[in-house]
Structure 1
Amino acid sequence: MGPKPVVTGLSPKEGAPGTKITIRGEFLGKDARDLIGLIICDSDCLLSAEWKSPTKIIARTGPSKGKGDIIVTTRSGGVGSSTVQFRAYHESIGPLKESAVWIEESPMGSLSWGRRSLAPTKYTQEDPLGLSIEGNVKKLTEDLRDIFPESSGDLAQENFSPGWFLLEHHNATSFDDLKAGLSYLRRKVESQRDGQLSFLKANAGAVMDQLATLMTLRDKYEEDMAETTEPIFKLEKAIKESIIESNSLFTDVLSRRDRADTMRAALFALSRHKFLFCLPKSVEQSAKRKEYDIVINDYARAKNLFGKTDVPIFRKVLEEVDKRIIGIRKELHQQICQMPQSVDHQKKLVKALTSLELFQNGLAIAQELPETDAAWDAIEARSNYLDETLRTIFDQHAARENNQLSAKQRDANDAPPRVLFCEEVCEIAASQLPDLWRLGQAYFTGELKGLSDPKPGVFKRIIINSIETFCSYIRSAILSVSGQRNNHLKANIPVWPATSNSAILQFIPWISQCLRYVRIAYATLIRVDLPSEVLDIIQKLINQIRLFCLSTIFKKAIDKIRRLEEEETWNMGAVPDFPGATNLPNLFEEIIVEHLDEGLNACLKAEIRETSLLEPQSEGLQQISAHTAEFLNTFCDVIETLAQCDITQQTPLVCQLAVGLAGTNNLSNASQSNADDKSWRKTMSWDQKILCCLSNCLYCYRQFFAHIYTVFTKNGYPISKIVFDNGRVRANDLFENIIESFVNEKSEYLVASIEPAMYIANQFQWDLVSSAEGLRPYAHECCDNLVGVFSEVFAVSPLLLRSILEAIVQTVAEELNRLLTCVQRFSANGALQANIDIRFLRDTLQLYSNSKAKAFFAEALEAIPQLSEDGERHVLRVLAKVKEDMKLHIMCFSVQNP
């Protein structure tokens, strides 16, 4: 929109109707087409306007009266303003003044005795008061018109005002003079009342002379008539004959003249009304150039000027223009429904079509076209185009994925078709849905109001349907791989074609990128100020994708946790407070922290108008809690898998303490080696790996899982502590199961070696013992094997000593009790020997004996015959000697807190 027109000067500033004036100012139009209105003193003068330049217009005034503004209206600037005014007035027309109307000339005024004047001298009125006006300054006529707007100072006018006359002619006359003038006027009026009789008396001689003259004129006329009667008849006959002859001579000339006059009149009419006769062609040309504003303005101008005319040729031209406008309306309606196009262009077309429909409303020719709501048709066309575009994009990318599946070749770095589909669909939604909404708002606010009433309910359904269609396509592409293929999908939305597991695995890392596309489209729609009901549909979709994305991140973490078995290096220096614990928990924590951070940044951080996924009792919190429990259980499964390695790798028990000590040194040296040295992994025995797994379980139960709970809390995951308590229970159960398995394996060797060592050596019999001066080999075997177990466990994790040794000592005590209770007869020395062996083992293993082990040792001693005092002293002496000799063994089992 350009600057508004401003009128700053006029020439002349006043005049009668039809006065030619020159209008000067600024921004009075770019060209003649741009000038669409000219008002002078509330009278439309556009037809007589002649545009010269943007600063000059020439026009003729209309039939208005009084002062008024000059208002210029242009297409580029709109309605303008005026800083000057024009005064229009109606002149009094005399018989000698040219005028376009008939002037009644008969009432020329009369003399004092009623005779007509011979000349229009009365129009120059003498002073009726008989006063001199020399030196009197007349008041300006413009000022008097302002004071007496409906009056006049002319004595001959019907609206004569005495006040105007006095102010104009006697502005400086004193009051006394005016009173004298009044007396003069009264005397003059009284003298005129004497009548014609007094006049005749005063002029009797002149009257008689006039009568004599009239009689002489009569006599002369009668004489002339008698002498000239015959010549007059001859003259009359000659004149008639000359007229007939002239008609015969000039008939052809006159006919040609009439035809020429007719043609000249027609050409004049064509020239004068050139706008109307050229209108059918001009509207078609303007329509082809897409200049619909010009079409509307020209059509409106023709309707205003010739809409009510009765001239047949004008009516015929108008009917032709109406037919052309009908064709333009059809073309406009087709263009409105053609997509794609911008909203502004579509609104322009709708406004043009609506304006043309309003101009033709009520015409008979308008019935050829059915009544349509152009704005609503534009809304439906844009909505249908959106649906068709989404379906076309879906078919293209679905076919592309099918082609890739059949070809089985795809670059791993290229985005899968699902990702490209999500990106393109989000771009379409972010561009077309706002356009559809803005078009609807223009329709309901009245900007595009047509002949029909608005349909807000239907438009709301269209918007919701478009949003649901967009969300359904996204769900079909993204959530189909999560087992939610048919959830929340519209009936007419196709399902993404089934694909291979490899294609799904290639797509899953791109889910966070798809979520970013949807969020960008959502932010765009929020700025459009859509209703909350509509935005909630997209928000629900985003929450579902966020949950699915978070689930895929956690599943990826679970897969990495499962592969920790391959990354176990059996490096036992990772946890200072839990010797024997490997670097496996630290690797587990790294995976957890990495994926918690990824999930937080990609899914959990709520963006604009998004809600938290981890509200209490929410579905998101339940899913994350389930995944967290799966983290802990999977890690426990990894430990369990590592503990179930080949049992044939276990180290056989021997009876030499040196071998156990040597194993301790080797294990210590191995623990100092590089964790990544695979040769060290091969040197690890089954026993040592089991002990490391037990240490890891104990670490998880006591500290690690509680630490993982704090990691989740610090990263913004409000997981219930019950989940981690259940994980600790799972770690403790695994610890008990591994302990039980380890103890059973160790106890099997220990128990299996006791009976052969007791009876097979030298065919030993308890009733044939010759002397009791030391320990039997089976007691040495038990002690040495337990020391071997002690050294092996102590070298890996002293924290496990009590848990393992108590169970093994209980098994050994049970086996010794069984063997001794099965002895049928003891000799005296046999009883002494049995007491020495059992008491030595009982005293040595007292710190690692539980109540059951102690009970088994007591039952074994009860199965041996009672000793005499000498025998008791002998046993004590031998025990003291044996304990002195086996001080090193006893020291292993005397450490309270290793």
Structure 2
Amino acid sequence: MIPPLVTGISPKEGPAGTKITIRGENLGLRANDLISVQICGGECSFEWQSKNKIIARTGINGVKGKGDVIVTTSSGGVGNCTVQFRTYVESIGPLKESAVWVEETPIQSLTWGQRRMVTSSYHSQEDPLSLSIEGNDKKFTEDLREIFPENSGDLSRENFSPYWFLLENHHATSFDDLKAGYSYLKRKVEGQKEGQLSFLKTHVGAVIDQLDTMMKLKDKIDNNGEVEIAERIHNLQGTISQSIDSSHALFDDVLMRREKADKSRAALSVLNRYKFLFCLPMSIQKNADNNEFDIIVNDYARVKNLYSGKVDIPLIKRVLSEIDEIILEVRKNLHNKLKEMPQAVEQQKKFVKCLINLEIQQFGTKQYERLKINDPAWDSLFCRARYIEETFKRTYEEFQEREVQAKENNSVKRDQNSLPIRVLFCEEINEIAAGQFPDLWRLGQSYFTGELRGINEPKPGNFKQIILNVIEKFCCYIRSSILPNYYQKFSSVPPWTSNSSQQALISTWLPTCLRYLRITYSSLIRLDLPNEVLDVVLKLIDELRLFCLLTILKKSIDKVKRLDEKEGWDMKVEEFPGATALPEKFEEILAESLDEGQQMCLQLEVRENPLFDGIHNLEGYHEVSKIIETALGCFSTVIEELATQRSDDEIHPLPRHNITGFPVNTSLNDSKSTAISTITITWEHRLLYCLANAAYCNKMFINNLGNLFTKYGYPIPKLALENGRSNMNMVFANLLEIYVELKNDTIVSHIEPSMFSSDNFSWNTIEKCDKLSFWANQCLDNIVGVYLEIFAVSPFLLRPILEQIIQTIAEELSRLMNSVEQFNNCGRVQAILDIKMIRDSLKLYNNERAKLSFNEAMDAIPKLSNDENRYVDELLKSIKIQRRIQLMCLNVVNPS
């Protein structure tokens, strides 16, 4: 390889510590290929940039003056250079920055014959010209050494040269300043001379005494000779040695005290430097007792940044190990604290953050390996969820126990307006859910957004399952407390059994429970929970809405069953005469229940679905239909029972428009000038009223109920209404059969006795046939009487009732005529006359069977001749004229 070659440096001169950029060729393939850089023969610190560039800093061990820049590499060896760098010594004053160490040890300088201490911080003697030399760089040292090889610019040396001194230190000083400096030096020298002379004058006596003493000493030495000199020298030598030893002892003591002081200062310096470290264990314990874990985290992070991996002192390592042990205990304490419940979610988040930070900072230590907490944030989530579930369970069991105690203390009558135990439980558990579940959700959000994230990745699936478990437990406890027979389907919650009386009491407060649950649901919606979680609560709301609605509608059944107590036989239905206010009262009960259900259950709140919308709600729709069908069936039963209850005649006050055709007792009240009318309601009257009500319900009322459901937002229960109409039709048929059978007993059963009222009557023995027979007159009179009785109640009942009665009459006449063995001529005419009169008078109410029976009766009579037929027709015409007023009602086509 080619050796390194330095071709350029920048700058080219400078004092020790100068930063130099070296450029050249083959300056190293990489940083570890560069071995050394020497400038002026001294090793330098360096930083390899590239194979053509190195940055170095000159040291203090190089040769002053010009020298080569040599680069040595592993690949190329020792290099060469084509440039040189000049190193010079810079004068350093107290205000001058220096890149190298300046010796500050005191030195002694003898100036002007006086002994005084001079510090070397100036690195030179005081300028004799009293001119500042700081900032005047000594740039000509080498040149001056060449010009004055035998001289020096140092004032303390014997070969001092003023030329050197001026060129080196004052090459930039102006001539006027040099003249001023010369004047100062001249004055100073003259002042010193005067000072010496005055010193001698002041101490002239002492000087003369010293001279006399020295002369006497010289004379004595000369007189005693050389023998005593050796002894005295020996004694002097011992004295000097002793003084030396004493001085050494004195200075050893001083040096020991100095060493001790230096050690004390070093110890104090170490204590001051490591005060934070040494005091940290106690500080951590104190902050841990005060739950100020964030301060512990900051202090521990500071210690880790300052000392971790950078200190080899055993004492520091021992302190750091002790701190790690204390942090380990703090981590255990923190982990236990974040699992303690109850506590505020912000406090729990603070504990989690501190624990995560401590784990990250202690990662890699042996203390960390002794306690590995996989995911403290997840532990806090799990503990909070478990605490909420335990709170649900504890509350559930507490209220169960309260209800048992209330049963045992049944002697104290409970206030009817006070809330039942289960309703209080529903309120309490909803408050718990609305108050604590948002904290769990916010803690989870902080976990997944990274605010509480530790070393491990978050667990979204597991958290979702935790949320679902909490919500499902909440819903299960509510179902078990207020929904009947819930525990039979779900075994995860202990059953809360109840009897019928307790369930009836709770059903009154179901809307209140529904309101509590809706408030909780609204708070959950504001949390922006997943739809899967919200749907769990929504399902419970739908179940409770449906159960509440069914309970409200079931209450109407009990009211319907007591409608017979409210029947006043007051006919208020204009479109259907004869119908009483009973259907209207039934409609009021149903409307009241539907309205209450609509207000409580059908009005939609946030994110709720229509109760009867969708395939999943068909079961609820069928339940409502069953209740409506049951209510209609109870109403039909009430009508039937009112009609079939046979008791003594009752007297009811009725308005005047209700008593047409009935005997009336009227009394005049003078004070009010109003007529009060009463009517005797017989069983037949009640039967007709009930028939009218059944017919009205069958034809109009039940159809109109569909509008009532539409008004209050319910789907029309067509099947229930149709079944209700069928039930009402059966009631009508039953009541019609009873009434027809009753009238048949009074009309049809009297035909045969009236026909054969005479003991010797026979159709073969009739001698005269110029009028109607007695039995025919009586039959027509009875029919007219029934007509009037029915018409007085409801003209709409005439046809269904009279058709049945006339059909029975026709069948009876057919039977009687077919049983006659023989007719004479008058008998034949009389029988034809009677049957035709009855048939023609009742022709508007003859059905096909009645017509057939009348024809069979007439066919059983031998046929008349033409003259006899004319005679019969004339008699019929005459009789009809005579009875036209009586029979007029039977000929009205639409008697309404």
- TM-score normalised per structure 2: 0.71
Determine the structure 2 residue equivalent to 1:184: none
Cα 1:334–1:236 shift into 2, 3 Å: farther
Residue 725 of structure 1 deviates from its aligned partner by 4.1
Given that 1:405 and 1:499 are in contact with CA atoms closer than 8 Å, whether structure 2 keeps it comes out as no
Rounded Cα–Cα distance in structure 2 between residues aligned with 1:464 and 1:584: 52
Residue 536 of structure 1 deviates from its aligned partner by 1.6
Q: Which amino acid aligns with 1:451?
A: I
Equivalence map 1:138-157=2 (5 Å): none
Rounded Cα–Cα distance in structure 2 between residues aligned with 1:691 and 1:302: 105
Rounded Cα–Cα distance in structure 1 between residues aligned with 2:533 and 2:312: 57
Rounded Cα–Cα distance in structure 2 between residues aligned with 1:568 and 1:740: 23
Residue 447 of structure 1 deviates from its aligned partner by 0.6
| Aligned sequence identity (%) | 44
SS at match of 2:509: helix
Alignment of 1:295 onto 2:292:
no
Determine the structure 1 residue equivalent to 2:551: 552
Alignment of 1:113 onto 2:117:
no
Determine the structure 1 residue equivalent to 2:603: 605
Residue 649 of structure 1 deviates from its aligned partner by 6.6
Determine the structure 1 residue equivalent to 2:482: 478
Determine the structure 1 residue equivalent to 2:321: 319
Determine the structure 2 residue equivalent to 1:454: 458
Determine the structure 2 residue equivalent to 1:585: 583
Determine the structure 2 residue equivalent to 1:781: 778
Determine the structure 2 residue equivalent to 1:430: 434
SS at match of 2:836: helix
Given that 2:665 and 2:677 are in contact with CA atoms closer than 8 Å, whether structure 1 keeps it comes out as no
SS at match of 1:492: coil
Determine the structure 1 residue equivalent to 2:444: 440
Determine the structure 1 residue equivalent to 2:753: 756
Rounded Cα–Cα distance in structure 2 between residues aligned with 1:829 and 1:510: 83
Q: Which amino acid aligns with 1:665?
A: F
Q: Which amino acid aligns with 2:325?
A: K
Q: Which amino acid aligns with 2:492?
A: N
Rounded Cα–Cα distance in structure 2 between residues aligned with 1:132 and 1:530: 92
Residue 749 of structure 1 deviates from its aligned partner by 2.6
Rounded Cα–Cα distance in structure 2 between residues aligned with 1:604 and 1:521: 18
Structure 2: unaligned runs, 5 residues or longer: 1-16, 18-87, 104-122, 125-137, 156-164, 178-228, 652-657, 668-675
Rounded Cα–Cα distance in structure 2 between residues aligned with 1:252 and 1:266: 21
Per-residue CA deviations over 1:505-549 (Å, capped at 9, x if unaligned) read 000121122111111111111111111121122222222222212
Cα 1:595–1:832 shift into 2, 3 Å: same
Query: Which sits farther off after the overlay, 420-429 or 828-837?
Result: 828-837
Cα 1:402–1:662 shift into 2, 3 Å: closer
Determine the structure 2 residue equivalent to 1:155: none
Given that 2:665 and 2:679 are in contact with CA atoms closer than 8 Å, whether structure 1 keeps it comes out as no
Equivalence map 1:765-844=2 (5 Å): 765-844=762-841
Per-residue CA deviations over 1:681-735 (Å, capped at 9, x if unaligned) read 9932222222222222222222222221122123222326455344434433432
Q: Determine which of 697, 701, 704 is the counterpart of 2:698.
A: 701
Cα 1:613–1:125 shift into 2, 3 Å: farther
SS at match of 2:456: coil
Residue 239 of structure 1 deviates from its aligned partner by 4.5
Cα 1:229–1:800 shift into 2, 3 Å: farther
Residue 761 of structure 1 deviates from its aligned partner by 4.2
Per-residue CA deviations over 1:822-869 (Å, capped at 9, x if unaligned) read 122333333333233222212221222222222222222232334455
Determine the structure 2 residue equivalent to 1:633: 633
Query: Which sits farther off after the overlay, 113-122 or 508-517?
Result: 113-122
Given that 1:575 and 1:581 are in contact with CA atoms closer than 8 Å, whether structure 2 keeps it comes out as yes
SS at match of 2:750: helix
Rounded Cα–Cα distance in structure 2 between residues aligned with 1:238 and 1:449: 84
Rounded Cα–Cα distance in structure 1 between residues aligned with 2:270 and 2:447: 44
Given that 1:793 and 1:800 are in contact with CA atoms closer than 8 Å, whether structure 2 keeps it comes out as yes
Aligned positions, number = 691
Determine the structure 1 residue equivalent to 2:513: 514
Residue 667 of structure 1 deviates from its aligned partner by 7.4
Residue 794 of structure 1 deviates from its aligned partner by 0.2
Rounded Cα–Cα distance in structure 1 between residues aligned with 2:431 and 2:517: 9
Determine the structure 2 residue equivalent to 1:685: 682
Q: Which has the larger radius of gyration?
A: 2
Residue 503 of structure 1 deviates from its aligned partner by 0.6
Structure 1: unaligned runs, 5 residues or longer: 1-16, 18-90, 134-227, 652-660, 671-678
Determine the structure 2 residue equivalent to 1:126: 171
Determine the structure 1 residue equivalent to 2:573: 575
Rounded Cα–Cα distance in structure 2 between residues aligned with 1:92 and 1:711: 115
Rounded Cα–Cα distance in structure 1 between residues aligned with 2:659 and 2:825: 40
- TM-score normalised per structure 1: 0.70
Equivalence map 1:243-642=2 (5 Å): 243-246=244-247, 259=260, 262-263=263-264, 265-307=266-308, 308-408=310-410, 409-479=413-483, 481=484, 483-487=485-489, 489=490, 491-496=491-496, 498-572=497-571, 574-617=572-615, 618-619=617-618, 620-642=620-642
Residue 796 of structure 1 deviates from its aligned partner by 0.3
Given that 1:569 and 1:681 are in contact with CA atoms closer than 8 Å, whether structure 2 keeps it comes out as no
Cα 1:283–1:310 shift into 2, 3 Å: same
Cα 1:484–1:334 shift into 2, 3 Å: closer
Residue 263 of structure 1 deviates from its aligned partner by 4.4
Cα 1:304–1:613 shift into 2, 3 Å: same
Given that 2:434 and 2:523 are in contact with CA atoms closer than 8 Å, whether structure 1 keeps it comes out as yes
Cα 1:713–1:96 shift into 2, 3 Å: closer
Given that 1:93 and 1:103 are in contact with CA atoms closer than 8 Å, whether structure 2 keeps it comes out as no
Per-residue CA deviations over 1:417-442 (Å, capped at 9, x if unaligned) read 22112211122112222211111111
Given that 1:816 and 1:860 are in contact with CA atoms closer than 8 Å, whether structure 2 keeps it comes out as yes
Q: Which amino acid aligns with 1:270?
A: L
Given that 2:153 and 2:168 are in contact with CA atoms closer than 8 Å, whether structure 1 keeps it comes out as no
Per-residue CA deviations over 1:598-645 (Å, capped at 9, x if unaligned) read 222211222111222222544233433443333433333332333332
Q: Which amino acid aligns with 1:242?
A: S
Rounded Cα–Cα distance in structure 2 between residues aligned with 1:856 and 1:239: 180
Query: Which sits farther off after the overlay, 247-256 or 310-319?
Result: 247-256
SS at match of 2:427: helix
SS at match of 1:893: helix
Cα 1:883–1:329 shift into 2, 3 Å: same
SS at match of 1:323: helix
Rounded Cα–Cα distance in structure 2 between residues aligned with 1:514 and 1:263: 79
Determine the structure 2 residue equivalent to 1:81: none
Rounded Cα–Cα distance in structure 1 between residues aligned with 2:456 and 2:810: 102
Determine the structure 2 residue equivalent to 1:734: 731
Q: Which amino acid aligns with 1:403?
A: Q
Given that 1:650 and 1:687 are in contact with CA atoms closer than 8 Å, whether structure 2 keeps it comes out as no
Given that 2:650 and 2:681 are in contact with CA atoms closer than 8 Å, whether structure 1 keeps it comes out as no
SS at match of 2:443: helix
Rounded Cα–Cα distance in structure 1 between residues aligned with 2:482 and 2:417: 19
Per-residue CA deviations over 1:280-328 (Å, capped at 9, x if unaligned) read 2222222222222222222222333333333333333333333332222
Determine the structure 2 residue equivalent to 1:163: none
Per-residue CA deviations over 1:4-48 (Å, capped at 9, x if unaligned) read xxxxxxxxxxxxx9xxxxxxxxxxxxxxxxxxxxxxxxxxxxxxx
Rounded Cα–Cα distance in structure 2 between residues aligned with 1:872 and 1:846: 20
Q: CA RMSD in A?
A: 3.6
Q: Which amino acid aligns with 2:593?
A: H
Rounded Cα–Cα distance in structure 1 between residues aligned with 2:175 and 2:268: 61
